[in-house]
Structure 1
Amino acid sequence: MAQENRYDSHEPGDHPKVFVSYTHDSEQHREAVLTFADFLVRHGIDVVLDRWATDRRRDWQAWMTARITESDYVLVIASEGYRRMGDGNGPDDLNLGGQSEAALLRDLLQGDRATWTAKILPVLLAGHGKEEIPKFLQPNAADRYEVRANTPEAAESLLRVLTRQPRDVPPPLGPRVVLPPRSGAAPARIAVPDGIPVSWRSELLPPGFRPQGPVVEVHLIPASPFTRYRMLQLERIGDELAASARADGLFSQSQAISVGSSADAAWAVSTDWRTGECGLAVLRGGQRTCWFALPSANIGWILDRADLTSKLTERLDLLLRISLPAPDSFAPAIALEPVSLTRLGNLSEVTANSASLPLNPPERLRVAPEEAFLVDELRRSRQDVAEELAARLTVAFRR
């Protein structure tokens, strides 16, 4: 009994099975197709080629029909002969096998165009152009695959389709964008008791640490009953804090950061003050905290209310996107420390060589929470909340 040829059955696996359809235009073309098929096999593609199925007498019409319909893809090798035959313009007594294959492919496309458009792939070997693709394969409106050399680099687009390894993949789907209304009712505020506890940034950093310049800190304090985070949750959230803060622009792409956790908090903070003092932290009791440096100028630092509002809007969004359970409501707070060499102004003044600085400024400014917002309301109205926080800090600075 003759040994079974491996092209007589399709064994499912990691190797896509492809049928190569071509016309015998010349001996040179036949050899180019054979060399191309050999290249594909050596790179993990299970190729069905008529020249490799001559181990027995066959009904070639039945063989071709079975192999095409069971293959994952059909590669149509474009040539002048295939175009004439595929478009019905060639002599009826030449390329009989190719005529049968093209007729079957046309019929399959007619019966299920969506499926077979994706499975029939026109291939342009070296020396051939798109004008040699038959019109029923849409040479101008659908994809074609150029293989100018038998190398993975030259055949990359075809190999990626055959092995289902796209070159570009979409990023993970992010949270739905929240666009606060530009007019209408102000966000609903919930009164909070005086003295709601806040862990300010200086209480989160190592003893003796003093920033090199003014740093704004914004806090979201749980204003409704909340169960403390488990320590395992804090241990696992650090890398997410770093990635989210870098994607949000709090950390630059090259900025060195430190990620860690303790019994009380998890954090991601900048480790080089020269690249901008900033950080993101979550406390075990549910508080969420972010801080960032004020813009520096030729003389001191500038507190630009419009710029601060924009940054606070972004940072509130960053805090709200942390993927840990949240209380029903948060109370926001803001602070500036240290205040020395800080002045009110706008960013257009960063290059000014003269400026008026306040006399005897306080060491720090802290604006404690005055009201709370439901989480959904805070997310929807974070720009309004940011404007209020920036206004309160500015008023405190002027006193």
Structure 2
Amino acid sequence: MLGKGAELNEASDKIVVLTALPLEYQAVRSLLEDPRRVDHAGTIFEQGRLAGTSHTVYLTSTGPGNDSAAALTERAVSFVQPRAVFFTGIAGGLKSDISPGDIVVATEVHAYHGGKQDPDGFKVRSRSWEASYQLQQVAQYVANVGTWRSKLPEGVRTSTAVHFKPIVAGDVVLNAPQESSLRTFLDHSYNGAVAVEMEGAGFASAAHKTQAVPHLMIRGISDRADGTKQNTDGLGLQEAAASHAALFLAEVITQLSPPPTSVGGPDFSTSRRLDDELVWQPLEQPAVVTWRKNLIPTSEYTSSASLLELHLVPVPATSRVPAVRMQQLTAELVDLGRSEGFFTNLEHVEAYDSAEVALVAVKDRHNRSAGIAITRSGQRSAWEALPHPGLSYVLDEDRTRDRIGILLKILDSIASPAASHYAPAVAVENTTMVTVERLSEVNPHSARIRPTDAPIEVQPEEAIGVEMISRCGRELAEELTARLIYSFRNPRRQW
């Protein structure tokens, strides 16, 4: 079973969190810094950093029901390729010692809508899924240490209990007295379960089928599922339970072990800070970058336009993107480009994938050229044509800074395991007709011709922590723009 076999992918700091209801979603979202929208195959995620950590959380809502939870779990895992996947929200309590506001960490999830009706009565044929052992251990550690309680409202810090017990999941909202037929059935057939809800079976089943990503469900108890739900909901216990579960989940994510330091690679320990300062780590020699001209697989993508290109080279280059994942990435890169407005919905985007590169690009039509790529080594690349209001292509400092910022955001959103550090490289290709000036001041009827068409390249000589790409994106874009323009004006001194 996945619960015993899946291993944490410690090279990734991406986490998927799923909820069903809006109040559950808001409880998690309130704990994220700078959440921003990311669209994939019609599903809207919000991506944000969990406050005080380097973990990037992808949050989405499944809506109620096991079927939708299963579909969204599978889609999210395929898209994000996360370190772990969690489901959180509220549930109804089934035992007298489980109180509203308590936390239940689901050690197992039982799907109770399964069985056979014959003349001898109804015979249960349930399915069950065990939660991942590693995540159960982290959750147990969080519960034992108890520091997460300091984030709870003062009046409930000591009374909120954490239970590690099974949960049952069906397709109905249970709110019936103890003697009701469904309550009696659950007590008889699933006596060990302490809570009931509607999405856990779909979530656990889909997570199990991935055979790769550890999963865990954490629920806050909002009512006793005994016919008094309307009263407890009116007291705000749904919101409280969702908040308790989200706070406990946040501490579980925080306590996941950090990505290991690579043996023999550069020592990046001094560059990992929790403040927002952009910290550079000099490399002994520039990282090996594959420029756009060497990424393009065929001459059909050759462009006469002057292009701005950006590359993020993983440092150290110790892991490779699985070949199976490379096959999936081309379609996802098209979706990413459209969702970010990099490709329009009317443009025809050519896709190319091989064992070594997944690449999507708009063909050069009327000097419109743009593309996104990721190599098997993990290098992330994007490029687009410079503006050309007349005869010249223009390297406008303000616009270039803004465009590099957008390209950084796109590359940071590629759903592939991230390296701990990247060395950025930026360049301008086809430079004969390029001029450095403000777009508003360009004479469209004149052109400045450079004596050489050699590309202007800022080599990847320094690395930054992966979390800096999103946290310090503007500062990074400013620095890369300054280096690019300096190199353009001083071509003998490539940065």
TM range (shorter): 0.5 to 0.7
Distance in 2 of aligned mates of 1:357 and 1:349: 17
CA contact (8 A) 1:289 1:319 kept: yes
Per the TM alignment, residue 213 of structure 1 is displaced from its structure 2 partner at its CA by 1.1
Amino acid at match of 2:280: R
SS of the aligned residue for 2:360 comes to strand
CA distance in 1, matches of 2:280, 2:347: 37
Once the two structures are TM-superposed, the CA of residue 204 in structure 1 deviates from its matched residue by: 1.1
Structure 1 outlier segments of 4+, above 3 Å: 206-210, 349-352, 354-358
Structure 2 gaps, min length 5: 1-41, 51-274, 491-495
Superposed CA RMSD: 2.3
SS at structure 1 position matched to 2:426: strand
> Does the CA-based 8 Å contact 1:288-1:319 persist in structure 2?
yes
SS at match of 1:174: strand
Match of 1:388 in 2: 479
Q: Which residue pairs with 1:371 in the alignment?
A: 462
Contact 1:310 1:386 in 2 (8 A): yes
Alignment partner, residue 317 of structure 1: 409
Residue in 2 that maps onto 1:173: 45
> Post-superposition shift, 1:298?
1.3
Tell me the distance in 1 between the aligned counterparts of 2:448 and 2:292. 28
Say which of 272, 276, 280 aligns to 2:368. Answer: 276
Deviation at 1:276, TM superposition (A): 1.4
Say whether the 8 Å CA contact 1:298–1:351 is kept in structure 2: yes
Q: Deviations over 1:205-251 (max 9, x none)?
A: 13556312100110000013531111110000111100111121221
Match of 1:305 among 382, 388, 397: 397
Contact residue 267 and residue 282 of structure 1 kept, 8 A: yes
Residue in 2 aligned with 1:327?
Answer: 419
Structure 1 position 354, deviation (Å): 3.4
Offset of residue 315 of structure 1: 0.7
Q: Deviations over 1:330-384 (max 9, x none)?
A: 11001111101110111213563335444x1342111111211111122201111
Give the SS at the match of 1:172: strand
Cα distance in 2 for residues equivalent to 1:253 and 1:384: 31
State how far apart, in whole Å, the 2-side matches of 1:246 and 1:216 are: 19
Cα distance, 1:275–1:365 mapped onto 2, change above 3 Å: closer
Offset, 1:275: 6.2
1:258 deviation in Å? 1.0
Report the number of matched residues.
225
- Preserved contact between residue 187 and residue 381 of structure 1 (Cα < 8 Å): yes
The aligned runs of 1:228-247 (5 Å cut-off) are 228-247=320-339
Query: Taking CA–CA contacts closer than 8 Å with sequence separation of 6 or more, which of the two structures ends up with the larger relative contact order?
Result: 2
Match of 2:288 among 197, 204, 209: 197
Distance 2:49 2:406 in 1: 12
Are positions 1:265 and 2:357 aligned together? yes
CA contact (8 A) 2:286 2:461 kept: no
What does residue range 1-399 of structure 1 map to in structure 2 within 5 Å?
Answer: 172-176=44-48, 186-206=277-297, 208=299, 210-274=302-366, 276-350=368-442, 352-358=444-450, 360-399=451-490
1:215–1:294 contact (8 Å) kept in structure 2: yes
In the alignment, residue 307 of structure 2 is paired with which amino acid?
V
d(CA) in 2 for partners of 1:177, 1:309: 23
Q: Give 1:373's aligned amino acid.
A: I
Q: CA deviation at 1:299?
A: 2.0
TM-score, length-scaled by structure 2? 0.43
Q: Deviations over 1:144-184 (max 9, x none)?
A: xxxxxxxxxxxxxxxxxxxxxxxxxx951231289xxxxx9
Aligned partner of 1:369: which letter? P
Cα deviation, 1:270-309, whole Å, max 9, x if unaligned, reads: 1243261110000000100000000012121111011010
**Percent of pairs with identical residues:** 28
Q: Whole-Å Cα distance in 1 between the matches of residues 315 and 411 of structure 2?
A: 15
Q: Answer with 1 or 2: which has the greater Rg.
A: 1
| Amino acid paired to 1:230 | P
CA distance in 2, matches of 1:292, 1:232: 28
SS of equivalent residue, structure 2 residue 366: helix
